[in-house]
């Protein structure tokens, strides 16, 4: 439980019990994991696209080096190929963003609005209040004014 007056850390809505704070904290943890997965999906998208562009350059280089048959084979079998059946990675990203991610974000926000008054990271704010050392440099509740 936070100490009164720790502006920025005293986020718990009045009357909210510990079990609710913990449950909403766990939901937020799950959403943060989905956000990390989303970042990795975008990384996969970018890396796969970069590989395809480099592959196209390799085809041209092989062709220029006199290896037209190999260049043709790579160009027809790999360049521009779907990463999974019927889809390039941009399609995976779009489906994930518009479906699972959008639904998860909406539900997580609705739960926070209903149970936490829209406040984010209530569980973590209380953990910070419990774990910090009052008066110790680097353990301030919030940034000093102007920082």
Is 37 domain-assigned?
A: yes
The total of structural domains in the chain comes to 1
String of b and e for 83-100 (b: at least 16 CB within 10 Å)?
Answer: beeeebbeebbeebeeee
Residue among 4, 41, 35, 11 at smallest CA distance from 126? 11
| Domain ranges, residue 32 | 18-130
Q: Which residues contact 84 (CB under 8 A, 6 or more apart)?
A: 92
Is 34 domain-assigned?
A: yes
Is 142 domain-assigned?
A: no
The tens digit of pLDDT for each residue in 73-109 reads 999 999 999 999 999 999 999 999 999 999 999 999 9
The tens digit of pLDDT for each residue in 30-66 reads 999 999 999 999 999 999 999 999 999 999 999 999 9
pLDDT of residue 3: 45
pTM of the model: 0.83
Is 27 domain-assigned?
A: yes
């Amino acid at each position: 439980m936070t100490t009164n007056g720790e502006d920025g850390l005293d986020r718990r809505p009045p009357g909210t019990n510990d079990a609710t704070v913990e449950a909403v904290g766990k939901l937020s943890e799950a959403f943060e994991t989905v956000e990390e997965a989303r970042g990795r999906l975008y990384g996969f998208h970018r890396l796969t696209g970069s590989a395809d562009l480099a592959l196209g350059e390799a085809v041209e280089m092989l062709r220029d080096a006199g290896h037209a048959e190999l260049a043709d084979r790579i160009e027809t079998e790999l360049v521009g190929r779907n990463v999974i059946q019927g889809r390039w990675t941009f399609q995976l990203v779009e489906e994930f963003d518009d479906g699972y991610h959008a639904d998860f974000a909406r539900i997580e926000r609705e739960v926070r609005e209903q149970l936490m008054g829209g406040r984010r990271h209530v569980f973590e704010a209380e953990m910070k209040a419990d774990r910090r050392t009052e008066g110790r440099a680097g353990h301030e509740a919030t940034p000093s004014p102007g920082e």
